[in-house]
Structure 1
Amino acid sequence: MTIKAGIVGATGYTGEELLRLLSRHPEVQITLATSTSQPGEKVSEIFPDLKTLDLIFETLHDETIGEKCSVLFSCLPHSESMQHVPNWLRQGIKVIDLSADFRYRTPQAYEKSYGRHTSPDLLAKAVYGLPEIYREKIKKASLIGNPGCYPTSALLGLIPLLKNKMISEEGIIIDSKSGMSGAGRSKVEGGLREDVQDSFYAYSLEKHRHASEIEQEISLIAGKEVSIRFTPHLLPIDRGILSTIYARPKWKCDTKKLLKTFQDFYKGEPFVQVLPEGKFPKIKETTKTNNIQIGAFYDDHSKLVVIITALDNLMKGASSQAVQNMNLICGFEETTGLI
């Protein structure tokens, strides 16, 4: 059964990736792509590698959007999606939102990082779209809050050990490095590429919005409020995230036990690669895929558990994870269009 899908805000990096992914998805017909910067332009002229896609960028009209699609991906900026989603849901559309607007469980949590939420009643309806953790809930959802790129890289590395009570929730340190595309097309084309060329630096040191998203999910597992130390960095590369995570073990463990826990937890997961002992993730090996690589070891010198993850921030950290969520809510094979 072919579904009709639309992308709102389709000229940004995540929108472009969605166009590419959905154009080759055997169960999807793209019937709508909106843009505020390129209305009336052919998709194939803005993105020449999509020359077979016969589609024109449109202006968003909420009132008639339900006539064009049954599934909608929103790539609008934070605080904008929430203004449209209630209308889309009333029209029976299933919505996958790639902003932060529906990732939080309470309006208070959202407001601490992003400001006032104008559709707080929908937060209880939304499902956090991390398939490896919330698969069954996602299947029944009509509104998905697609996780952030840094949270995806951190949570998939932490949750197996937290759920198995192998590491403490206290004192977790997450040191993440991202390619510049994580900042968005406007910033990259507005001078960020030149700024980061031949350089490497930390940013948002005192407060990064993704920290609260990670804390929310860890706190749910811990059953209490948890704080982390999160430090993001910009790499002079286009895409990819590598996170190094440090945690205190709750009991005596070793590298073999850590890796066995990951292997058991992610057994059968098509997009999670748990690397063997002595092997560690590389951004290059996940580029343009929906895969996340995970490596880990116990450092006997510092008495810390060290977890390393790598993924493509535009794919598993955004657009391909959104397609993975779409496959689940539409009843398709989860890997369709992704491998």
Structure 2
Amino acid sequence: MNVSIIGTTGYGGGELFRLLYHHPVFNIHSVHTTREEIPLNEEFPHLNGITDINLEHIDPEKIAKHSDIVFIAAPSGVSSKLVPAFVDKGIQIVDLSGDLRLESDEYRKWYKHEPVSDDILAKAVYGLTEWNKSNIANATVLSNPGCYPTATLLGLAPVVQEKIIDPNMIIIDAKSGASGAGRSASKKLIFSEINENLRIYKVNEHQHIPEIEQQLRIWNDNVGPISFNTHLLPITRGIMSTIYVKLTETYTTESIIELYREIYKDSPFVKIRPQGNFPEIKEVSGSNFCHIGLHVDERTGRLTIVSVIDNLIKGAAGQAIQNANIMNGLDESKGLEFIPLFP
């Protein structure tokens, strides 16, 4: 199957190219940009001697004619202008931006852009892979989840759906590497600003808040507003989402771990850690895995959930490919079987 990538010059698009380059079924037919048409290896010198493919301008008719899937890794606000050009052209769309994740009013409020039409939103399937496979399998327009929501929702899903926590007390302390901010130049992202530093940002205002709340309320309509804050780590890639919830009854750590293992037993990329063992970002780096550690504090009746992912893979390109696999009747692990990098 031929695929095209739009937005190949960003970190997410670069990871899409890297992963799809080795995919046994998907073949990279073309890569596209809104900027200068140059060889991709000029934008990414590490590809010298590997590929001589050229970046092309975006021609939806041409792309739809030659490819079966288009992955759109453009920024929010840009992607929403591209998606309509591909709808109803017989090509599958996998969008990695936030433009198809929220209802129009919420999107306008949190992203400060004009949303796509309600008709297109109605076609878009939310691609949290482990929890929406049947709908993903029939999708033609796929909205890939955000990186923070992926780590957070995978961590929260079992206890929210089983309704064993207080739905009005969900606190999320999330941290990400600098690649999550994208590849554009920014004073706050230069080495001397982030090295040996830890910065909180978008305090109680992160655009992923409504995405997380929206999905939590689909699982349990009693869920109230969450407390969600994000921090920038002095590392390149990875997310750790540490989540605090109040249990409604007495549970042991062992019983919660068993619940998670049972629920995720058929999810090849979600790994539940043994009791007393908590995941680190380094342990999932370069992979499509999500590792989850759990601990019940019997003194307070609270459950601590630690969920880690690679923000560029499970939080973006890897999950996009996982979803595309399912959309095309392939094993969801196809092309993603590699183990994490360590150290």
CA contact 2:177–2:232 (8 Å) conserved in 1: yes
Q: 1:175, 1:160 → 2: CA distance?
A: 19
- Find the counterpart in structure 1 of residue 66 from structure 2: 68
CA deviation profile, 1:46-71 (whole Å, cap 9, x unmatched): 32333322310011122322122110
CA distance in 1 between counterparts of 2:209 and 2:80 reads: 21
Q: Could you give the per-residue CA deviations for residues 144-195 of structure 1, whole angstroms, max 9, x where no partner exists?
A: 1100000001000001111112212111000011000000011468844331
8 Å Cα contact 1:244-1:306 kept in structure 2: yes
For residue 110 of structure 1, what is the aligned residue in structure 2? 107
Match of 1:18 in 2: 16
Measured in 2, the distance between the counterparts of 1:48 and 1:23 equals 16
Tell me the residue number matched to 1:100. Answer: 98
Question: What's 1:125 paired with?
Answer: 123
Whole-angstrom CA distance in 2 between matches of 1:247 and 1:280: 17
Q: Which moved more, 1:83-92 or 1:279-288?
A: 83-92
Q: Distance in 2 between matches of 1:53 and 1:144?
A: 28
Matched position secondary structure for 1:306: strand
Match of 2:246 among 243, 248, 264: 248
| 2:39 corresponds to which of 42, 49, 52 | 42
**How high is the sequence identity, in percent, across the aligned residues?**
39
Question: What is the letter of the counterpart of residue 154 of structure 2?
Answer: L
1:297 to partner: Cα distance? 0.8
Q: Which residue of 1 aligns with 2:236?
A: 238
Cα distance in 2 for partners of 1:205, 1:250 equals: 28
Q: Which residue of 1 aligns with 2:227?
A: 229
Give distance in 2, aligned partners of 1:49 and 1:25.
19
Q: Contact 1:169–1:218 at 8 Å: present in 2 too?
A: no
Separation in 1 of the partners of 2:187 and 2:11?
Answer: 11
Q: Compared with structure 1, are the counterparts of its residues 244 and 262 closer, same or farther at alpha carbon in structure 2 (3 Å cutoff)?
A: same
| 134, 142, 165: which one aligns with 1:167 | 165
Q: Which amino acid aligns with 1:159?
A: A
Distance of aligned partners of 1:267 and 1:225 in 2 relative to their CA distance in 1, 3 Å threshold: closer
Between the aligned partners of 2:174 and 2:223, the Cα distance in structure 1 is 22
**Selected match of 2:305 from 307, 330, 334:** 307
- Deviation of 1:107 after TM superposition, in Å, equals 1.4
Q: Deviations over 1:64-118 (max 9, x none)?
A: 22122110010111122122212212211100000001112x2122222113313
Q: 1:205 is matched by which residue type in structure 2? A: V
Q: Which residue of 2 aligns with 1:290?
A: 288
Deviation at 1:296, TM superposition (A): 0.5
Cα 1:4–1:190 change in 2 (3 A) is farther
Residue deviations 1:192-220, cap 9 Å, x none? Answer: 43311110111100311011110101111
- Correspondent of 2:199 among 188, 198, 201: 201
Equivalent residue, structure 1, for 2:341: none
Q: Return the offset for 1:20.
A: 0.3
Structure 1 unaligned regions, length at least 5: none
Displacement of 1:44 in angstroms is: 2.7
Task: Say whether residues 1:157 and 2:155 are aligned partners.
Answer: yes
Would you say the 8 A contact 1:23–1:53 is kept in 2? Answer: no
Q: 1: CA distance between counterparts of 2:83 and 2:74? A: 11
Unaligned runs of 5+ in 2: 338-343
Count of residue pairs the alignment pairs up:
335
Whole-angstrom distance in 2 between the partners of 1:138 and 1:245: 27
Q: Secondary structure at the match of 1:323?
A: helix
Q: Aligned AA for 1:126? A: A
TM-score (norm 2): 0.94
What is residue 132 of structure 2 aligned with on the other side?
134
- Paired with 1:190 and 1:291, the residues of 2 have a C-alpha distance of 29
SS in 2 for 1:54: coil
Q: Which residue of structure 2 lines up, in the alignment, with residue 89 of structure 1?
A: 87
Report the 3-state secondary structure (helix = DSSP H, G, I; strand = E; otherwise coil) of the residue aligned with 2:99. Answer: coil
Residue in structure 2 matched with residue 143 of structure 1 by the alignment: 141
